[in-house]
Structure 1
Amino acid sequence: MTLLPLAPVADVDLAPAGPAHAARVLVPRIVSAVARRAAFLRRAATRMPLVSQVSDRRYQRRLTKHASQLPLPSAGQLKVLVALNDAGVAVRPADLPAEVVDSADRLVELLRRKNVDEPCVKATPRELAVDPTLFTWGLSDHLLDLAECHIGLPVRYLGMEVKRELVQSAAGRNHEVVRRWHLDHEDRRIFKVIVYLSDVDAGAGPFGYIHQAHSATIRGSRGLDLRGVPDDEMHDVVPRHQWAQVTGPRMTSVLVDTGQVFHRVFPPTETERYSVTFAYSSRSPYYAYSRLMLPRRAIEQVRERLSPRQWDALCVGRTRRSRAA
């Protein structure tokens, strides 16, 4: 696996059968877009001087109260946490059990068979629920420990996303923002584990990021739309030779705080990319995407396989939007 400094750039088209169909498709999207915008504004408000002071004090109290209850990291986990604190990203080989790899491969094959004209296609919650093995691996104690140590609070498993990045332009589509530099806004701290399910080189849509030190500077900049910064604007702040790409063989994992580090998906130019992302936040995020979670019935069916800690991390019954202190 390698980190390559590099340059350059680049959801779903609506083809309604009629007004009723259009309404069924559009209304949920509009509601979701409004909720995401509200979450972005709530997070932005915590950076305003007066709001920030009150919010930061409350947040620090929560961190201090939970500090003595944090899991004790192993030597390997400690190296990951140090890398997250320093660069904002840690790259490691993914050690998935055979049955989890098999579950992931079945989803890859499902996505490969889809005939689409889109820049990205993702497995739906119902498709993920057919075989929840990959989903439940995201609740393993190793990952929950890492997430809790990084976030500093009891964690919420936001779910997972399996996707196929195609050699298609995202210009003018909802997926375009993901291929621009951006921060995620689910929470103050976010822990994500991205596992490549195919070999990824510079032409296969590698994950790109800006080092933590530079990202911290940009977060304080004014005049940039932090939800999607085009390449030319990013180049004005951070030269292209300081942009990083993560390439590597299948089963390379990228552990990252996507709320602190500017990141993007570089557009595939030669080969499609398949990957799975596991996401975590505190128990009180600004926003939680329902598309990352299995349907409620499927969640109830796996309950008996989960420990109390794993079940608590699912935060079943909580709404997607939750106020963060």
Structure 2
Amino acid sequence: MPEVNMRDAMAWMRDLPARMALRCANMRIINRRLERGHAKRLARHEGKAPKLSGIDLEIVEGLRRDGIFVTNLAALGLPGSDAMLAAGRMVGDAFSVEARQQSADGAALTIAPPASVASRPEIFAWGLHERLLDIVEAYLGVPVGYDGVNLIYTVSGGREAGPRCWHRDWEDRRTIKIGIYCNDVVAGGGPFQLIRRRDPTQGGPHGYHYSLADDNMLTEKLGADYHQDIVSCEGPAGTVFFCETALHFHRGEPAVHADRQALFHSYFARRPRHPFLCERSGLSRKQISHLAGPLSLRQRASACWRRDLPWFVRLIPPARI
């Protein structure tokens, strides 16, 4: 068997428990039980969600209406933003040569090494800012789990593969990503894109099903004129977009003219429906515990969300990144 096929086969076998767990979760009787449990958690938390105002409220309203809200670090005004962005640029620049080599070797997704991100704690800690947790909690309606951060380096060349194909994220019923551009991103530079329309057959009694989508599938699910609702996020370094990536098809448009560096902070319910499809940052649990150690009790609980899971769920190994 060729080496690449052997690697693919081994990866498929490693992810088999997670994929089987997803299939089981979608079985009618189990899905109903999971949905009832989530509904109870929403009801218990009703009235406890943070009260927002100003741009924070606008972000939640935009997520509910369109699945996306675009702003910038200056408008958010969060302490530590300049240091976070500078650290992200340093990590991205240091990874650029390796990213281009990985892309040339056929990698569909080029992510900066988790150790590089862990070495700059200001990047990880920024995603746990109390105001960000308030925003996400107000949207989700339950306490927040923080799945860390990736620096995704998109190499120019226009290849449509992996996250540059239309897809939905599979960690939970609802998933929020906060993206921050580390460099200027213009048309042709691989901007993040999201379709504001939602697939009415995803979720609830239908269960949750995931696959890459081409034009035919998007037309079938969203309508022939779905192109009218594509939001393309272009902007200078420091552009920030809050996006709902579980309910909405999205992608990084293939970069043609320039490379793109972007940080993506990830959030979902503290008890996600698919914990075996989470832990996407590549950071080890030990690294996460260390990075969250100096922070508040709420921040640590969000970062170490796995501790709230039932023991038998924690036994299922997570799928690869």
Offset from partner CA, 1:27-54 (integer Å, 9 cap, x none): 4x33553255345435644xx5x65554
Task: Indicate whether 1:215 and 2:214 are aligned.
Answer: no
**Cα deviation, residue 313, structure 1:** 0.7
Is the CA contact 1:43–1:188 (under 8 Å) kept in the aligned structure 2? Answer: no
Q: Which residue of 2 aligns with 1:69?
A: 48
List gaps (5 residues or longer) in structure 2. 75-79, 308-313
Q: Which residue of 2 aligns with 1:7?
A: none
Task: Indicate whether 1:142 and 2:142 are aligned.
Answer: no
Q: Which residue of 1 aligns with 2:182?
A: 197
Q: Which residue of 2 aligns with 1:60?
A: 39
Offset from partner CA, 1:92-128 (integer Å, 9 cap, x none): 1124522212211111111223241145421122221
Alignment of 1:94-243 (within 5 A): 94-95=73-74, 97-114=81-98, 115-116=100-101, 117=104, 118-168=107-157, 170=159, 176-211=161-196, 214-217=197-200, 219=202, 226-235=210-219, 237-239=223-225, 240-243=227-230
**Cα deviation, residue 134, structure 1:** 0.3
Letter in 1 for 2:176: F
In the alignment, the residues of structure 2 paired with residue 135 and residue 216 of structure 1 have an alpha-carbon distance, to the nearest angstrom, of 32
Over 3 Å counting, the alpha-carbon distance change for 1:57 and 1:119 in structure 2 is: closer
Over 3 Å counting, the alpha-carbon distance change for 1:94 and 1:40 in structure 2 is: farther
Offset from partner CA, 1:173-211 (integer Å, 9 cap, x none): xxx242222211111111110111111122011111111
In the alignment, the residues of structure 2 paired with residue 282 and residue 251 of structure 1 have an alpha-carbon distance, to the nearest angstrom, of 27
Over 3 Å counting, the alpha-carbon distance change for 1:303 and 1:57 in structure 2 is: closer
In the alignment, the residues of structure 2 paired with residue 40 and residue 179 of structure 1 have an alpha-carbon distance, to the nearest angstrom, of 24
**Cα deviation, residue 289, structure 1:** 3.5
In the alignment, the residues of structure 1 paired with residue 298 and residue 317 of structure 2 have an alpha-carbon distance, to the nearest angstrom, of 20
Over 3 Å counting, the alpha-carbon distance change for 1:104 and 1:233 in structure 2 is: same
Counterpart pick for 2:19 among 25, 37, 42: 37
Provide the secondary structure at the position in 2 that maps to 1:178. helix
Provide the secondary structure at the position in 2 that maps to 1:112. helix
- When normalised by structure 2's length, the TM-score is 0.80
Provide the secondary structure at the position in 1 that maps to 2:198. helix
Provide the secondary structure at the position in 2 that maps to 1:292. coil
Query: Which has the higher mean CA deviation after the structures are superposed, 138-147 or 90-99?
Result: 90-99
Over 3 Å counting, the alpha-carbon distance change for 1:177 and 1:105 in structure 2 is: closer
Provide the secondary structure at the position in 1 that maps to 2:38. helix
Over 3 Å counting, the alpha-carbon distance change for 1:256 and 1:247 in structure 2 is: same
Is the CA contact 2:73–2:81 (under 8 Å) kept in the aligned structure 1? Answer: no
Letter in 1 for 2:66: A
**Cα deviation, residue 219, structure 1:** 3.6
In the alignment, the residues of structure 1 paired with residue 19 and residue 12 of structure 2 have an alpha-carbon distance, to the nearest angstrom, of 11
**Cα deviation, residue 273, structure 1:** 1.0
CA RMSD of aligned residues (A): 3.1
Offset from partner CA, 1:59-107 (integer Å, 9 cap, x none): 2211010112212213221111111111111111124522212211111
In the alignment, the residues of structure 1 paired with residue 187 and residue 58 of structure 2 have an alpha-carbon distance, to the nearest angstrom, of 26
Query: Which has the higher mean CA deviation after the structures are superposed, 314-323 or 124-133?
Result: 314-323
Task: Indicate whether 1:246 and 2:233 are aligned.
Answer: yes
Query: Which has the higher mean CA deviation after the structures are superposed, 64-73 or 270-279?
Result: 64-73
Over 3 Å counting, the alpha-carbon distance change for 1:301 and 1:226 in structure 2 is: closer
In the alignment, the residues of structure 2 paired with residue 311 and residue 90 of structure 1 have an alpha-carbon distance, to the nearest angstrom, of 26
Q: Which residue of 2 aligns with 1:6?
A: none
